């Protein structure tokens, strides 16, 4: 209805609906108007930025630990100690299971450090928000898109995917809900 000079007021608790249906969105909290604007305006003012999600290549996790000799020696020794423990009663929540989980997550994988270094070399304000399973997720501020840092970052990522142990990556915008 652009240009028809008509207004339809829709009330919803779901910001994704407001994002899709509304040209302008007003956010009301506790009976007071907090902000008004287009979806893009609100995301720029209140959002955290873009999400860069990188998918780790299969098998890259455990082999990358052995590349760092200084920290991996102590990890291998501890893993050897844990593997010699009888696991007949080591189940979820047992002391043995917790001990192994601590050792595996004791130090970040070298690939994560290299990837973070590459990303923050182009976008210093980028920060790692999730390292779960086969995915790494970074938040890239909106300001970095304006100064051309993304183009250089994506070009560098494309060239170094295999070296970093990354199979693919994607970028998404912050949702209004977030």
Read off the pLDDT of residues 114-138 as tens digits, 9 standing for 90 and up.
999 999 999 999 999 999 988 999 9
How would residue 5 be classed by pLDDT, with cut points 50, 70 and 90? confident
pLDDT on residue 46: 83
State how far the Cα of 107 lies from the Cα of 83, in Å rounded to an integer.
19
Give the residue extent of every domain in the chain.
Answer: 1-46, 50-60+108-172, 68-104
Highest-confidence segment of 14-23, 74-83, 107-116: 14-23
Please say whether the dihedral angle defined by the alpha carbons of residues 104, 106, 111 and 115, taken in this order, is positive or negative. positive
Which 3-state string (H, E, C) describes the chain? CCCCCCCCCCCCCCHHHHHHHCCCEEEEECCEEEEEECHHHHHHHHCCCEEEEEEECCCHHHHHHCCCHHHHHHHHHHHHHHHCCCCCCCCCCCHHHHHHHHHHCCCCCHHHHHHHHHHHHHCCCCEEEEEECCEEEEEECHHHHHCCHHHHHHHHHHHHHHHHCEEEEEEECCCCCC
Q: Tell me the range of 28-37, 42-51, 102-111 where mean pLDDT is highest.
A: 28-37
- pLDDT value at residue 79: 43
Residues written for the chain: 178
**86: pLDDT strictly greater than 60:** no
Write down the pTM of the prediction: 0.61
pLDDT of residue 72: 35
Number of other CB atoms surrounding residue 152 within 10 Å: 13
The confidence band for 3, taking pLDDT boundaries of 50, 70 and 90, is low
Higher-confidence position of 58 and 150:
150
Class of domain 50-60+108-172: alpha beta
Cβ–Cβ < 8 Å for 109, 134: no
Q: Read off φ and ψ for residue 124, nearest 5 degrees.
A: -55, -30
Average pLDDT over the chain reads: 75
Confidence (pLDDT) at 139: 94
Q: How confident is the model at residue 25 (pLDDT cuts 50, 70, 90)?
A: very high
Query: How far apart are alpha carbons 167 and 25 in whole angstroms?
Result: 38
């Amino acid at each position: 209805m652009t240009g028809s000079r008509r207004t339809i007021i829709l009330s919803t608790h779901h910001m994704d609906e407001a994002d899709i249906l509304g040209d302008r969105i007003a956010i009301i909290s506790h009976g007071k108007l907090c902000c008004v604007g287009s979806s893009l305006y609100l995301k720029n003012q209140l959002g955290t930025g873009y999400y860069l999600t990188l998918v780790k290549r299969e098998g890259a996790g455990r082999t990358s630990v052995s590349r760092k000799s200084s920290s991996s020696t102590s990890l291998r020794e501890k893993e050897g100690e844990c593997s010699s423990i009888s696991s007949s009663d080591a189940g979820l929540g047992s002391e043995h299971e917790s001990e192994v989980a601590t050792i595996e997550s004791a130090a970040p994988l070298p690939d994560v450090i290299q990837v973070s270094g590459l990303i923050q070399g182009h976008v210093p304000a980028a920060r790692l928000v999730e390292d779960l399973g086969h995915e790494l997720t970074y938040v890239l501020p909106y300001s970095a898109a304006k100064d051309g840092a993304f183009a250089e970052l994506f070009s560098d990522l494309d060239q170094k995917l295999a070296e970093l142990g990354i199979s693919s990556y994607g970028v998404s915008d912050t949702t209004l809900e977030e």
